[in-house]
């Protein structure tokens, strides 16, 4: 499997996408720390720090929404991308699907964090269409195999 060029492209894209999710996760903690607001009382007690208990401030909520959106969109793509590779997707098509999706998701995360419209919507739509086109290729492969 590691000699399969499609799998190598897919694997590289999954590494980048996982880093995207992990960096958003870490950034949410950084932003939360700057606001000194936590929704959990034990967080204030455990580190004996100053801060307040409360709902997420808007800047924390924004990062959490960006993180949630990334995980919600990357998971289906990851599953479908693996199926595409396993069904014998060509290296070129795999590179196109993965490259477009990775660029769209990175663009979406950045435009979400920096409040950039219409780029947030554009990158969301591009990533979604990329995934839907891959679904079409997989559906065709299943129908012709049946």
Tell me what pLDDT residue 40 has: 79
Tell me what pLDDT residue 2 has: 66
- From first to last of its 146 residues, what are the pLDDT tens digits of the chain? 568 999 999 999 999 999 999 999 999 999 988 888 888 778 777 655 677 877 889 999 999 999 999 999 999 999 999 999 999 999 999 999 999 999 999 999 999 999 999 999 999 999 999 999 999 999 999 999 87
What is the reported pTM? Answer: 0.91
Tell me what pLDDT residue 36 has: 85
Tell me what pLDDT residue 106 has: 98
Tokens of 49: 């720090």
Nearest Cα neighbor of 121 from 57, 69, 63 is: 69
Tell me what pLDDT residue 47 has: 58
| Domains of the chain with bracketed CATH | 5-31+57-145 (1.20.120.550)
Tell me what pLDDT residue 45 has: 75
Q: Hunting for tokens 């964090």 — which residue is that? A: 113
């Amino acid at each position: 499997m590691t000699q399969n060029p499609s799998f190598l492209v897919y694997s590289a894209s999954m590494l980048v996408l996982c880093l995207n999710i992990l960096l958003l996760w870490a950034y949410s903690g950084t932003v939360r720390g700057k606001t000194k607001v936590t929704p959990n009382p034990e967080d204030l007690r455990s580190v004996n720090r100053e801060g307040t208990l409360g709902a997420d401030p808007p800047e924390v909520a924004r990062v959490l929404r960006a993180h949630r959106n990334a995980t919600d969109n990357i998971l289906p793509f990851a599953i479908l991308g693996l199926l595409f590779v396993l069904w014998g997707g060509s290296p070129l098509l795999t590179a196109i699907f993965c490259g477009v999706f990775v660029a769209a998701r990175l663009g979406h995360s950045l435009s979400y964090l920096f409040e950039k419209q219409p780029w947030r919507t554009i990158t969301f739509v591009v990533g979604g269409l990329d995934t839907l086109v891959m679904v079409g290729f997989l559906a065709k492969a299943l129908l012709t195999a049946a």
